[in-house]
Structure 1
Amino acid sequence: MTAGEKAKAKVEQAKGKGKEALGRAIGNDRMAAEGRAEKSMGDARQGKEKTKDAFKH
């Protein structure tokens, strides 16, 4: 996993988690859903990179 892609995945996960928590705290369902989507994109990016690494070796 390249360092840039790994960092991007972690940032997406953290940003999504924070946005989801804020959305739930203020009762904004749309913001919470957007946060879950961002977190999922970060999870998918991380999974993709781990799969690529597994096939490199």
Structure 2
Amino acid sequence: MTTAPLPDDDSRLLEQACAWLAKLQSGEDSAADRKDLAAWRAAAPAHERAWQRAQAVWQG
């Protein structure tokens, strides 16, 4: 695992992905939230990479 700092944009996207993940894990997400997450992930390859990284961190 690398400890190199993330570029600002990557850090911001990872924070957003973590917020999405926390929302989903809370059990308080709605169908609209899941649709919005899918749209966010599809909006840019960097979003999907951030999502994958957040999931990897969550799973430990």
Query: TM-score range with shorter-chain normalisation?
Result: 0.3 to 0.5
More helix by share: 1
Tell me the TM-score normalised to structure 1 length: 0.42
Larger Rg: 1
